[in-house]
Amino acid sequence: MKHQRKSHTELSNIYFWTATIHKWKHLLNDDLNKQLIIDYINKLSSDGLITVYAFVIMPNHIHLIWQQNKKNGKESPFGSFLKYTAHQLLKILKEKGAAGEFAVQAANKSHEIWQRDSLAIEIFSRKVAEQKLNYIHANPIKGIWKLAESEIDYFYSSARFYETGIDDFGFLKNIFIELE
């Protein structure tokens, strides 16, 4: 079954969600940029806005399995995530003199950090959860990436949590407890 690419999500449902850096640029190669992503996910989680079941941060995209619990003011948590991290990443780029790579000609903005086509696929069963979890955790060691020798060796991922039960980030919940 082919899923239509969409970013619309409903509160309380669990989704496999992907966001990609504009033009697939490798903005998330830098560990400081990855940490910025982790810190904001942690904030949204601590504030009770999201529940995070799995994630991986790749050089040019992120995958999350998460649930949005409530709005952040008027914004969806994923909208807040994209907006806040874009502003922070742009600030870093400007400090380095590299913001020009993300310049766009648009009526509502001068730079674009995240592509507008984030993907949300609802997770409605244990089988779908297993498939998406395996995909996320294999991402750093498959194909062109080769970012680590094994899934649990790649730090910016929830693979170690599912293998050992140790949450290095302080925000992970086991999806299989949720789907029991």
Domain ranges of the chain: 14-178
Alpha carbon distances (Å) from 67 to 13, 16, 70, 176? 6, 9, 9, 14
Confidence category of residue 3, pLDDT binned at 50, 70, 90: very low
- In the predicted model, what is the mean pLDDT of residues 16-27? 95
Identify the pLDDT of residue 7: 60
pLDDT digits (tens, 9 = 90+) for 83-125: 999 999 999 999 999 999 999 888 888 899 999 878 898 998 9
Identify the pLDDT of residue 60: 97
Give bridge partners of residue 15 from the DSSP assignment: 66, 122
pLDDT digits (tens, 9 = 90+) for 161-176: 999 999 999 999 999 9
Assign domain 14-178 to a CATH class: alpha beta
pLDDT digits (tens, 9 = 90+) for 122-133: 998 999 999 999
The Cα–Cα gap between 94 and 91 comes to 5
Identify the pLDDT of residue 41: 97
Identify the pLDDT of residue 4: 44
Averaged pLDDT score across all residues of the chain? 91
Identify the pLDDT of residue 15: 94
More confident site: 3 or 158: 158
Query: Is the whole model's pTM more than 0.85, yes or no?
Result: yes
Q: What's the CA dihedral at 148, 151, 153, 156 to 10 degrees?
A: 90
Identify the pLDDT of residue 2: 44
